[in-house]
Amino acid sequence: MIALAAFAGCCAWHLAARRRRGTHQIPHLARKWRAEVRVAAHAARACGRAIIRAGHNHTSWATAPSWKGAAKIDPCTATDEENEALVRRAIASAFPHHAIIGEESSAAMGEIPALGLEDTWIVDPIDGTQNFVHGMPLSVVSLGLCVNRIPTVGVVYNPHSDELFVGVRGEGAWCNGERITCKAGAKRLDEALVIIDPAYERSPLGVRQLAAQYLGLLGANTRAIRAIGTSVYAIALVACGRASGFVIGVNDGDSPKPWDWCAAAVIAREAGAVLRMVDNRRTPPGDSRAPAGEGDSFDLFSRSGVCAATPELADALQQIALEAIAVPVDELDHF
């Protein structure tokens, strides 16, 4: 009897520990979108396990990845491709009529397919591939569903911290089953932890624009500046109040793509964050519009973006980004 009680206690402890780690924590949703969230969460976790496994085995990042872009520093690994195939199989099996736009297949095609009116998943099987290649534990899986071209379901999974972020348009945002809201505290830059991302912009003009943005943030006494190498997780951190703001896209090589926004945009908007374009630059194809959160329009094909806890902070980050974009070419040699 004692052993039985101890066994029961041990099982309860084990279940409680799994719950603490969030392994089973999908938010309780009404019928609508429940199946989509479950399928996406399941696929995202499977991708996450592959990321961890490849890291442990030193397989994916020990072998030379292939490279995207002119600077030859943007990698694509076997795990990226395998994860996208896994996601495609999971979605095709559960929702055979849904379309899919993926980072790796788009890179292979050399262009991003246009976003149609049919239900379309926009997925990044590893956001933060460069971190993954180096073995740095900062990469996430991002799966978003557009309905009528509007981001409607977002699932982001960080396998390193076992955090599952879920957002459903009009329903809310969650991390491991608990509601999240962005902390409305930081209105000024000297209160803010701001995440930037130089990504793969390395053109002579682009690097000066990036440096001008960095200088602008430092000169405005921004409390903390971080660069973590995954824009999706950066937006998720703003959504759950652990970062104040995120800004990206002063030129081409650091411009985000629809898979950087889709899932994260739903989560951020539902958590109360401000999401806006820095300016009107867009990736050529498609004409999707993510829903306006606070009066302004936001486009999934935007090549720049600000996500912030408050409109005041979004203003400040947008202003500094606009000034950086406008760095005069004839002053470039004077740094």
Q: Can you give the binding site for a copy of itself, defined by CB under 8 A?
A: 3-4, 6-7, 10-11, 13-14, 71-73, 130-131, 134-137, 160-161, 190, 193, 196, 198, 201-202, 204, 207-208, 210-212, 214-215, 218-219, 221, 223-229, 237, 240-244, 331, 334-335
Closest contact distance (angstroms) between CB of 143 and a copy of itself is 22
Q: Closest CB to a copy of itself among 221 and 297?
A: 221
Give the whole-angstrom CA distance, residue 252 versus residue 265: 20
Give the whole-angstrom CA distance, residue 123 versus residue 261: 10
Closest contact distance (angstroms) between CB of 303 and a copy of itself is 18
CB contact at 8 A, 123 and 261: no
Closest contact distance (angstroms) between CB of 321 and a copy of itself is 15
Q: Closest CB to a copy of itself among 152 and 230?
A: 230
β-strand pairing of 193-195 with 178-179: unpaired
Structure tokens belonging to residue 299: 């486009």
Give the whole-angstrom CA distance, residue 277 versus residue 10: 51
By CB atoms closer than 10 A (0-12, 13-18, 19+), residue 243 is buried
Q: Closest CB to a copy of itself among 147 and 215?
A: 215
Structure tokens belonging to residue 205: 């003009």
Closest contact distance (angstroms) between CB of 41 and a copy of itself is 21
State whether residue 326 is helix, strand or coil: coil
State whether residue 62 is helix, strand or coil: coil
| Phi, psi values for residue 136, rounded to 5° | -80, 125
Which residue in the block uniquely carries the two structure tokens 């076997």? Answer: 78
Give the whole-angstrom CA distance, residue 48 versus residue 55: 11
Closest contact distance (angstroms) between CB of 219 and a copy of itself is 5
Q: Closest CB to a copy of itself among 22 and 285?
A: 22
Give the whole-angstrom CA distance, residue 320 versus residue 96: 44
Q: Closest CB to a copy of itself among 95 and 214?
A: 214
Q: Closest CB to a copy of itself among 118 and 331?
A: 331
- Would you say how long the chain is, in residues? 335
Which residue in the block uniquely carries the two structure tokens 């976003």? Answer: 115
Closest contact distance (angstroms) between CB of 223 and a copy of itself is 4
| Phi, psi values for residue 100, rounded to 5° | -140, 130
Q: Closest CB to a copy of itself among 68 and 282?
A: 68
Closest contact distance (angstroms) between CB of 37 and a copy of itself is 24
Contact partners, residue 293, CB within 8 Å, separation at least 6: 269, 273, 274, 275, 276
- Residue 259: enclosing H or E segment and its boundaries? helix 258-270
Q: How many CB atoms lie within 10 A of CB 305?
A: 27
Q: Closest CB to a copy of itself among 228 and 247?
A: 228
Q: Closest CB to a copy of itself among 114 and 218?
A: 218
Closest contact distance (angstroms) between CB of 24 and a copy of itself is 16
Closest contact distance (angstroms) between CB of 217 and a copy of itself is 9
